[in-house]
Chain A
Amino acid sequence: TQLLEQSPQFLSIQEGENLTVYCNSSSVFSSLQWYRQEPGEGPVLLVTVVTGGEVKKLKRLTFQFGDARKDSSLHITAAQPGDTGLYLCAGAPTGNQFYFGTGTSLTVIP
């Protein structure tokens, strides 16, 4: 069983559209991170959330941590081709090791 399930697995949208991707688990996390990985590169950290219900914004990206600290969402407003990549969530159940999710592959078509 996967500790962190992400949905959708694949997403292809037109430039300018909005989208939301989800990261769900039955486990409680002390913190949760979102990374973006572009082709041929390693993942790059976008944000860390630690408080239930926390919302963080990074330009057109909005991250929310669920109240129960079991899930998270990433919303992108007016997607651009530069947003294309693999989005990974990672959760730390105990504050030590981070477990990565299954990933959402996003393609933004110009």
Chain B
Amino acid sequence: ETGVTQTPRHLVMGMTNKKSLKCEQHLGHNAMYWYKQSAKKPLELMFVYSLEERVENNSVPSRFSPECPNSSHLFLHLHTLQPEDSALYLCASSQGWRGAYNEQFFGPGTRLTVL
């Protein structure tokens, strides 16, 4: 595997389910991100981890719980979601998380549908 991988690619869940999204980066980067992409809305940054420490949490509801066990893996644990949480969830990584030339490498995303 190369780059940034995400599993699963598609997920359908009920509002009472608990599921997890997984992201793995094979680039040796130190920072990882979760974004939410909804129709007609800008890409929304949810969480940033740098060297396994959370450095940004943009007022995300507690029903989304991130976990970064090491610099290569990032999880997003989901529970009691709402239909409006249906979106494409993108993971990204970068060498650092600051700097004008900070390039983020994105995975293909997980398409989440909440029924």
Contact = CB atoms under 8 A, between A and B. Distances in A.
Sorting the interface of chain A by its residue count into under 10, 10 to 19, 20 to 34 or 35 or more gives: 20 to 34
Nearest to A44: B106
Interface SS majority for chain A: loop
Nearest to A45: B103
A40 B90 CA distance: 11
A103 B100 CA distance: 21
B57 to A, nearest CB: 12
Given A50-B101, A97-B48, A103 B42 contact: yes
A44 B106 CA distance: 7
A102 interface: yes
Contacts of B48: 97
B101 A31 contact: yes
A7 interface: no
Contact of A92 (B41, B44, B100, B105): B100
Contacts of A43: 43, 90, 104, 106
Interface string B71-115: 000000000000000000010100001111111111111000000
Contacts of A98: 45, 102, 104
Given A42-B109, A43-B106, A97-B56, A88 B100 contact: no
A3 B43 CA distance: 12
24 contacts: A2-B42, A31-B100, A33-B103, A42-B92, A42-B106, A42-B107, A43-B106, A44-B106, A45-B104, A48-B101, A48-B103, A50-B100, A50-B101, A88-B43, A92-B100, A95-B99, A95-B100, A96-B97, A100-B43, A100-B44, A101-B42, A102-B40, A102-B41, A103-B42
